[in-house]
Chains A and B, each alone.
Chain A
Amino acid sequence: MSRQGARLDAKRVNSELFTLTYGTLVAQLLKDYENVDEVNKQLERMGYNIGIRLIEDYLARTGSGRCYDFKDTAEKIQAGFRIFLGVSPQITNWGAGGDEFSLVFESNPLTEFVELPDHCLNLKYCNILAGVLRGACEMVQMEVTSWFVQDQLKGDNVTELRVKFIKRLEDAIPAGED
C-alpha cells in the first residue's frame, strides 16, 4: 500500500497507545467501583503484578547487579523509567537518613490528554507506578513504599513521587531446612 503524507512516528504513537489504554483501564475501574479509594488500591495492585514481572525484563536488558546502597537503587529506578517510559525523572530531596528520596517528573507520559473531573480529586491517577516500584523492588529483596506528594493533574507544577526504603528482605530458608 502506498503511503502518502507524513510517516508515522511509531515511537510516539506507541507511547500514546499506552497512555490511552491505561486511561481506558482507569475509566473502567471508576465505572466498576464508584469508589475512588478502591480504584487507587486496584491500580496499585495491578502495578505490583506488573512490577514483579517487569524487573526480570529490566535485569535482562541492563545486566545490572545488586544495588550497593539506596543511592544506587535510586539511579537504577531512574534508568528503569528511561527504558520503559522514556522519561528521566530527577532524583532529589534525599531524606536525612538516606532512606527516602523523591522522583520529580516534569512531564508524565501517563497523564497526557488527561484532566481530572471534580469528583475524582482523590484519585491517584498514576498509582500504578507506585505499585510497579513496590513489586519490582520486592523481587530484588527490598521493601519500599512510595506515594505521590505532588501531582500535575491536581494543579502542581511537577509530579513528585516519594520513595521510602523500609527494610531488606532476607532470603527465605528453603522448606524443611529450618
Chain B
Amino acid sequence: MADESLYEFLHSEIVGYVTEKSARENKKDDLSSLEYMGFSSGFRIIERLTKERPRFNDELDTVKFICTDLWSTIYKKQIDNLRTNHQGIYVLHDCAFRFLSKLSSGRQYLESAPKYVAFTCGLIRGALANLGIKCLVTAEVQNMPGCKFHIHVQRS
C-alpha cells in the first residue's frame, strides 16, 4: 500500500518538475504536460478500477462513478456536488480538494492553484476517455480549498 502522503509528495514533485521545465523552455505556465501526465494516469487507473464492474448504463452513470468511486479511491472523499445540464456539461464541485487543502483556506496563494489542479483535470479526462467519453475538462478555483471541475463532453 502506498501511503497517502507519499502520493501527495509525488504529486507536488511532478508539479514542481513541470513548472521548472516550462520556466526553462520560456513558456510561462505551460501546464500541458502536467495535464497529459494526469491523462495517462487516469486512463490506466480506471481500467484497474472498473475491472470487475458491470457495464455503465449511460453517460451520467459513468460520471457518477467518477464522482464516487474514483474520487474516494484517489482523494479519500466523494465529490460534494454534481450538476449537469443533461446536454453534456457536468460540474463537479469538491469543497475541500485534497491537493489544495494543505495550501490555504481562502485566497492566499490563489495564483498557484492552477498548477495543483491541472493533473486532476487530466486524470478525469483520461478516465472518461477510457470509458468511451471524449471530453474537455477545466477547473475553476475561487476560494481554496474548494474546486469546481467542468466537464464538456464532445459529441461528434
Contacts and interface: CB of A to CB of B under 8 A. Distances in A.
Interface of A: 1, 3-6, 8, 10-25, 27-29, 32, 42, 46, 49-50, 53-54, 57, 83-86, 109
Contact of B54 (A4, A24, A46): A4
Contacts, number: 97
B16 A49 contact: yes
Of A6, A22, A28, A86, the most chain B CB neighbours within 10 A belong to A28
Nearest to A46: B13
A10 B9 CA distance: 19
A54 B6 contact: yes
A50 B17 CA distance: 12
Contacts of A109: 2
Contacts of B10: 18, 21-22, 25, 50
A28 B37 contact: yes
B95 to A, nearest CB: 19
Nearest to B24: A32
B41 A8 contact: no
B48 A16 contact: yes
Nearest to B18: A28
Nearest to B16: A49
A27 B44 CA distance: 14
A28 B20 CA distance: 14
B102 to A, nearest CB: 11
Contact of A17 (B16, B17, B40, B74): B74
B52 interface: yes
B30 interface: no
Contacts of B37: 21, 24-25, 28
Given A4-B54, A8-B73, A25-B14, A85 B45 contact: no
B81 interface: no
A86 B2 contact: yes
Nearest to B64: A1
- Main SS of the interface on chain A? helix
Contacts of A20: 41, 44-45, 48
13 contacts: A5-B53, A13-B45, A17-B7, A18-B2, A25-B13, A25-B17, A28-B33, A28-B36, A49-B16, A50-B6, A50-B13, A54-B6, A85-B2
B49 interface: yes
Given A14-B1, A20-B41, A42-B17, A53 B9 contact: yes
Contact of B41 (A11, A13, A15, A17): A17
Interface in B111-151: none
B123 to A, nearest CB: 9
Given A20-B41, A85-B6, A15 B1 contact: yes
Interface string B45-67: 10011001110000000001100
Contact of A8 (B2, B16, B69): B69
Contacts of A10: 72-73
Contact of A4 (B13, B48, B53): B53
A97 to B, nearest CB: 32
Given A5-B53, A18-B7, A57-B5, 8 more contacts: A8-B73, A14-B4, A17-B73, A17-B74, A19-B2, A25-B17, A25-B37, A53-B9
